[in-house]
């Protein structure tokens, strides 16, 4: 199982590397091969997911390690669906985000062993609630990556500095976790240095890129929002059976409602015809609220969903 | 005139966005209450969901939502009224034949159309025009439901120890109420998969004492299913992974 996980992580990284070279040397053929490698990585990810499901006897999304694996699988699934139409940059950023998550996961020290379920999780609502929620997170993550690309390709200094900051975190996180994975060497200070280097490099080498159509930015929201709504509704029904009430003002519930509100505002502003730049900034806010819902709540705030931090 | 001004403010999207941000801000601050309870109590943000200020915001949001929905009706109605001037004009010699042919083409494309005075109105997805009403209505039902629960219902914690009957419920606003019946638990036990690891089963027996009548219950939780015992529904609540609370409410 560990071998498959490593193959999958390196395979996503390889697709990122290939597409990066393809974009740099403007080779369409290399970009096509990179997309193919990405597709193969997705299949490996899928195989890993189903293998764990078969071993555990339940859908593997009930602890931190498996939920991260499922999260990257959802991002890859969306990219595979739209791979023909997808911009090379968006595939590159998705591969970087996925590789960063997987390499980060392999050094984070989460319990990788299959854990049995507590009674509250032994429910048929588990699969539908988690699948819809994670698919929504994945769609919003793609919206965030497209938003970052739009801001990075902008001529305004503030836009590409903010975008470079987020890309800097992603890329330095990826490099740091690869070094830690390969050398088993604690490199927090080196990580900060890598971040400064990447951040500086992105600003120095910045140039306005070809803009993407508005549809590419907004479409993931129209996929993610109904999924998140379904996730919240199914979660409420499950909570009624498990804890006796549809809504308990648990931190996870609160932050999923905040995320829902952010994207509700997003949709209304899109209908009102706000600029892509404005919507890209909203995408950043939305992604931050997702990260708080997904990570902050699991690891910082205790609540009914605390089992997910194990 | 003044009424119109108030209506325009109430139906405005800016008010919706402001209220949504306000709600998000209030609950976001309050979500940290398990980490900083004293600080949040001092600034009045502890359990803000049950406060008058939060309820007022929700009421205002409900009014805004109703006003917004009403303001959308003329626009939607207009979409289904045949316009006086058409967007595209076609001139044919034999108009009836061509019109029938055109209609069959629209039908084949599964488009919605309506004809009046030689003008044909075409819609691609007519049902979509009503989606906004369904969504607003569902949000309205949830918001009104939440308001009713928040104004007339209560929710609290009852600490149930073995062989100690109790009817004392601690509410979210730090007050207490006495239930009209007692609940007593006996022989509460937890089984683990491995010693000290993940809980596998919760088990207890006990009584609900109501008007000197003892109603016995037995709970064995291995799956996510509540226990139904005559007038009551009993749930278990593994808050912070400590499965020591039993929450219950009238069925």
Shortest Cα distance from A207 to chain B (angstroms)? 35
Instruction: Tell whether the model's pLDDT for residue B241 goes beyond 60.
Output: no
pLDDT in the model for residue B77 = 81
Facing residue for B27 by CB, picked from A120, A241, A257: A257
CA A252 – CA A256 distance, rounded (Å): 6
> Residue B57 is encoded by which pair of tokens?
């915001």
Q: pLDDT by residue (tens digit) across B215-228?
A: 777 777 666 665 55
Q: pLDDT by residue (tens digit) across B106-147?
A: 888 778 777 777 777 777 777 777 888 999 999 999 988 888
Q: Tell me whether residue A253 is exposed, middle or buried, using C-beta atoms within 10 angstroms of its C-beta: 0 to 12, 13 to 18, 19 or more.
A: buried
Shortest Cα distance from A184 to chain B (angstroms)? 30
Interface check B226 vs A, CB under 8 A = yes
How large is the average pLDDT for residues A108-133?
82
pTM: 0.85
Q: pLDDT by residue (tens digit) across A155-208?
A: 888 888 999 998 888 888 888 888 777 776 666 777 788 888 888 988 888 877
Residue boundaries of the structural domains of chain A: 2-113+120-160+211-309, 161-208
Q: Which of residues 190-219 of B touch A (CB under 8 A)?
A: 193, 198-202
Interface check B156 vs A, CB under 8 A = no
Instruction: Report the residue of A124, A129, A249, A278 to disrupt the B interface, i.e. the one with the largest count of B CBs within 10 Å.
Output: A249
CA A23 – CA A40 distance, rounded (Å): 20
| Complex confidence, ipTM | 0.86
Q: Say if residues A138 and A74 touch (Cβ distance below 8 Å).
A: yes
pLDDT in the model for residue B239 = 39
Q: Which residues of B touch A259 (CB under 8 A)?
A: none
> Residue A162 is encoded by which pair of tokens?
């903010």
Beta bridge partners of B164: B161
Q: pLDDT by residue (tens digit) across A194-204?
A: 888 888 988 88
CA A268 – CA A11 distance, rounded (Å): 39
Q: Which residues of B touch A257 (CB under 8 A)?
A: 24, 27
Shortest Cα distance from B145 to chain A (angstroms)? 11
Instruction: Tell whether the model's pLDDT for residue B245 goes beyond 70.
Output: no
> Residue B231 is encoded by which pair of tokens?
């007038």
Q: Which residues of B touch A303 (CB under 8 A)?
A: 34, 239-240
User: Do the Cβ atoms of B235 and A115 come within 8 Å?
Assistant: no
List % helix, strand, coil for chain A (3-state, nearest 5): 80, 0, 20
> Residue A201 is encoded by which pair of tokens?
């490099």
User: Do the Cβ atoms of B224 and A125 come within 8 Å?
Assistant: yes
């Amino acid at each position: 199982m560990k071998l498959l996980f490593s193959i999958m992580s390196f395979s996503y990284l390889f697709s990122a590397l290939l597409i990066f070279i393809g974009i740099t040397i403007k080779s369409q053929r290399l970009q096509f091969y990179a997309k193919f490698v990405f597709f193969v990585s997705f299949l490996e990810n899928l195989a890993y997911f189903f293998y764990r499901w078969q071993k555990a006897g339940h859908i593997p999304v009930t602890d931190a390690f498996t939920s991260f694996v499922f999260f990257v699988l959802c991002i890859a699934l969306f990219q595979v669906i739209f791979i023909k139409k997808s911009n090379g940059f968006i595939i590159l950023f998705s591969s970087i985000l996925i590789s960063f998550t997987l390499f980060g996961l392999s050094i984070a020290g989460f319990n990788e062993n299959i854990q049995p379920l507590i009674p509250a999780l032994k429910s048929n609502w588990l699969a539908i609630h988690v699948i819809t929620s994670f698919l929504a997170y994945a769609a919003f993550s793609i919206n965030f990556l497209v938003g970052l690309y739009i801001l990075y390709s902008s001529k305004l200094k503030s836009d590409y500095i903010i975008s470079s900051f987020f890309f800097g975190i992603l890329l330095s996180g990826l490099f740091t976790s690869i070094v830690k994975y390969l050398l088993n060497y604690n490199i927090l200070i080196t990580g900060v240095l890598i971040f400064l280097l990447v951040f500086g490099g992105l600003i120095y080498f910045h140039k306005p890129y070809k803009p993407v159509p508005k549809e590419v930015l907004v479409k993931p929201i129209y996929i993610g929002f109904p999924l998140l709504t379904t996730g919240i509704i199914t979660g409420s029904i499950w909570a009624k059976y498990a804890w006796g009430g549809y809504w308990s003002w648990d931190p996870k519930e609160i932050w999923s409602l905040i995320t829902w509100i952010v994207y509700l505002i997003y949709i209304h502003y899109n209908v009102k015809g706000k600029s892509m730049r404005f919507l890209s900034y909203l995408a950043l806010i939305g992604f931050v609220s997702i990260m708080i819902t997904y990570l902050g709540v699991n690891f910082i705030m205790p609540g009914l969903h605390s089992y997910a931090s194990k | 005139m003044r009424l119109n001004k108030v209506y325009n403010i109430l139906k405005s999207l800016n008010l919706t966005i402001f209220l949504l941000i306000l709600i998000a801000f209030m609950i976001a601050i309050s979500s940290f209450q398990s980490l900083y309870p004293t600080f949040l109590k001092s600034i009045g943000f502890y359990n803000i969901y049950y406060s008058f200020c939060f309820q007022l915001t929700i009421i205002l949001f409900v009014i805004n939502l109703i006003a917004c929905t009403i303001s959308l009706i003329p626009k939607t109605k207009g979409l289904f009224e045949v316009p006086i001037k058409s967007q595209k004009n076609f001139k044919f010699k034999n108009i009836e034949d061509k019109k029938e042919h055109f209609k069959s083409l629209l039908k084949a494309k599964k488009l919605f159309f309506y004809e009046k005075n030689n003008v044909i109105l075409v819609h691609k997805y007519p049902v979509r025009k009503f989606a906004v009403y369904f969504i607003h209505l569902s949000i309205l039902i949830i918001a009104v439901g939440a308001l009713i629960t928040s104004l007339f219902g209560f929710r609290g914690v009852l600490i149930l120890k073995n062989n100690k009957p109790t009817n004392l419920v601690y509410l979210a606003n730090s007050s207490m109420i006495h239930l009209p019946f007692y609940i007593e638990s006996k022989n509460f036990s937890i089984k683990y998969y491995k010693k000290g690891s993940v809980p596998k089963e919760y088990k207890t027996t006990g009584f609900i004492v109501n008007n000197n009548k003892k109603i016995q219950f037995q709970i064995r939780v291995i799956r996510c299913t509540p226990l139904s015992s005559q007038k009551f529904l009993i749930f278990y609540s593994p808050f912070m992974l400590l499965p020591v609370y039993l929450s219950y409410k009238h069925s």
